[in-house]
Structure 1
Amino acid sequence: MKKISVHDAIGHVLCHDITQIIPGEIKDRAFKKGHVIKEEDVKVLLSLGKDNIYVWEKKEGYLHENEAAERLTKLAAGMGLEFSEVKEGKINFIAKYDGLLKINTDLLLKINLLDEIIIATRHNNYPVKKGDKLAATRVIPLIIDEKKIIEAEKIASGKTIVDVMPYKKVNVGIVTTGNEVYHGRIKDAFGPVIRKKVEKYGCNVIDQKIVYDDTEKICDSIKDLIDKGAQMIICTGGMSVDPDDLTPSAIKKTGANIISYGAPVLPGAMFLLAYNDDIPILGLPGCVMYAKTTIFDLVLPRVLSQDTITIEDLAGYGHGGLCLECNECTYPQCSFGKGW
């Protein structure tokens, strides 16, 4: 590119966007990269403080910011994304559908350690809606050495940084335990809460079994729901450490692989996660009945996006796993569950 006087720019091709800012009124693009300067543009450019502008001179081995942003987007973008128009070396990533945002944080760090290019994202494992802005690329200089982009492409090596995993709408079976509920001494408060939360993701509760405190009965109820076609089992009640709280041992008795009994999340410490083959079994602590947001809200979208959760994943929730229990819950816009 070369720098020339605005008065000499008529007929030349602008090599960068020019922004117009009027405080409190507008911040928008006045001239777009590639615009051919006309005589009537000179007065406008001067009003924007542009006595001189840069016009494009293609040079081998160097990229304009917009071209570099497009290549940066291509190396970072995975499934479930749409994109904004490139503007001043920036491209926004937009969710194409509802789903779970997955960020390759290791690869993101490596790319951002390179000079003169950045990728900024929302948090990993964030439940997103269609149309949400998820990430953005930005190229710092107007003209960048192509070697920087080539280096980023080599680091990515075909791996993506940003993906939206769609939710799977599954059949849910609920097993509610407790003599007090079974005998009608108190009304079940878990069922309505669970139905509301899973139906928000398009899931269907096929049955809810209310059973008394008996290991064999709880175990048989879980197996029966699986036989009926349940693709996820949610167990409520009997999740503490009292002698008559039998749900964890009953889940284990089904032959399920217990990933963890307990998680560093408040509310939700007495949470259990297990898998019976590929069917997740969630043991929910009592706080799910009354707390606005708990570990259930962190784990549910991950399970429904078929993200296999490990004990390391659950342990990682300790950083950011303390809910502030605000009077007005703003999750997932708050810090809860965002540390990992």
Structure 2
Amino acid sequence: MRQIKTVDAEGHILCHDITKIVPGEFKGRVFKKGHVVREEDIPVLLSIGKDNLYVWEQTEGMVHENDAAVFLKDIAAGENLEFSDIKEGKIDFISTVDGLLKINVDKLLELNCIDDIMMATLHNNYEVKNGLKVAGTRVIPLVISQEKLDEAKVVLGGEKIINVIPYKTKKVGIVTTGNEVFHKRILDKFGPVIENKVSKFGCEVIGQTICPDDKEIIKNAIKDFIDQGAELICCTGGMSVDPDDVTPTAIKETGAELVTYGSPILPGAMFLLAYHGQVPIMGIPGCAMYNKTTVFDVILPRMLIDDRLTKKDIASYGHGGLCMNCEICTYPACNFAKI
């Protein structure tokens, strides 16, 4: 490309979109890349501050911003994504499913450390809906060297660093513990909360067993659900450190592999996660019964894409794991538990 004075631009081809901004009223494209400048266009261009223009002139080894955006999209975009038209050199990545956004954060950082290249995304593990914009990319200048694009390709190493993983609709068993509920001294209010939350993801609750504070009975209830084909077990009640709260011990004694008892998420410090083979068992603290958003809302979507979480995965939620208990909850469109 080369720069010329706008007054001399008639007949030349624009090599980039021209944007007009009217504060508080309008921001958009008035001339598109590839437009052949006409005599009547020149006063319009001058009125929006374009005394000089870049017009197309092919240079070996240099790539136009639109073609560069397509290149970056092709090397970074993975599963369940579609893309916007190129506008002002930028392409948006849009989810085609309801699912969990997966970003290779380390590779994304490396990519953005290359001069003249940018890629912006929503947070890793963000809950997305079909049609939601999850990322965007472009290059900073109007043209970029092929060498820098090749560097970006090497950095990613063939890995598609932006993916949306669709949720799986799982069969859920609920094990509710507590003498006060078992003996009908109080009405169970935990089961309906869990059923409501999992049903939003299309999951089926295959049953709820209410148990007294008896380790053997709780343990057998968990095993019974696994035998019935449950793919996720939610245990409610008995998750604190009181002497009668034996749910964590019962979960451990099923033979499940304990990942963590305790999480750096508030609300949700007394959360437990274990795996009985491939079946996750979640010990859900009482806060999930009355707080709108808790550790359960954070971890549940990851269980529904078969993430096999580790202690480190849970520990990483500490940075950002404090819910602000906003009067109007906007989760997941907030800072809570974003990693």
Fold match (TM-score > 0.5): yes
The 2-side partners of 1:194 and 1:27 are apart by 45
Higher mean alpha-carbon deviation, 126-135 vs 184-193, is at 126-135
- TM-score relative to the length of structure 2: 0.97
1:230 maps onto 2:209 in alignment: no
Q: Which amino acid aligns with 2:63?
A: L
**Shift in Å at residue 86 of structure 1?**
1.2
The 2-side partners of 1:59 and 1:291 are apart by 60
What are the residue-to-residue correspondences of 1:1-340 with 2, within 5 Å?
1-338=1-338, 340=339
**Shift in Å at residue 129 of structure 1?**
1.1
The 2-side partners of 1:68 and 1:134 are apart by 19
Q: Which amino acid aligns with 2:262?
A: G
**Shift in Å at residue 100 of structure 1?**
0.5
**Shift in Å at residue 231 of structure 1?**
0.7
- SS of 1:317's partner is helix
**Shift in Å at residue 40 of structure 1?**
2.9
**Shift in Å at residue 51 of structure 1?**
3.0
The 2-side partners of 1:116 and 1:334 are apart by 29
The 2-side partners of 1:329 and 1:7 are apart by 54
1:137-189 CA-to-partner distances (Å, cap 9, x unmatched) read 12111111111110000111111221111000011000001111011000001
The 1-side partners of 2:222 and 2:86 are apart by 52
- SS of 2:318's partner is coil
The 2-side partners of 1:132 and 1:225 are apart by 36
The 2-side partners of 1:267 and 1:21 are apart by 44
The 1-side partners of 2:295 and 2:83 are apart by 32
The 1-side partners of 2:187 and 2:331 are apart by 28
Superposed CA RMSD: 1.2
**Shift in Å at residue 58 of structure 1?**
0.7
**Shift in Å at residue 47 of structure 1?**
2.3
**Shift in Å at residue 316 of structure 1?**
0.5
Q: Which runs of 5+ in 1 are unaligned?
A: none
**Shift in Å at residue 335 of structure 1?**
1.3
- TM-score relative to the length of structure 1: 0.97
**Shift in Å at residue 193 of structure 1?**
0.5
1:215-246 CA-to-partner distances (Å, cap 9, x unmatched) read 11111111111111211000011111112111
Higher mean alpha-carbon deviation, 193-202 vs 43-52, is at 43-52
**Shift in Å at residue 328 of structure 1?**
1.8
Q: Hey, which bits of structure 1, 4+ residues long, moved more than 4 A?
A: none
Aligned-pair identity in percent equals: 62
The 1-side partners of 2:21 and 2:337 are apart by 38
**Shift in Å at residue 7 of structure 1?**
3.8
**Shift in Å at residue 133 of structure 1?**
1.5
The 2-side partners of 1:86 and 1:192 are apart by 46
**Shift in Å at residue 34 of structure 1?**
1.2
**Number of residue-to-residue matches in the alignment:** 339
**Shift in Å at residue 60 of structure 1?**
0.9
The 2-side partners of 1:93 and 1:131 are apart by 10
**Shift in Å at residue 6 of structure 1?**
3.0
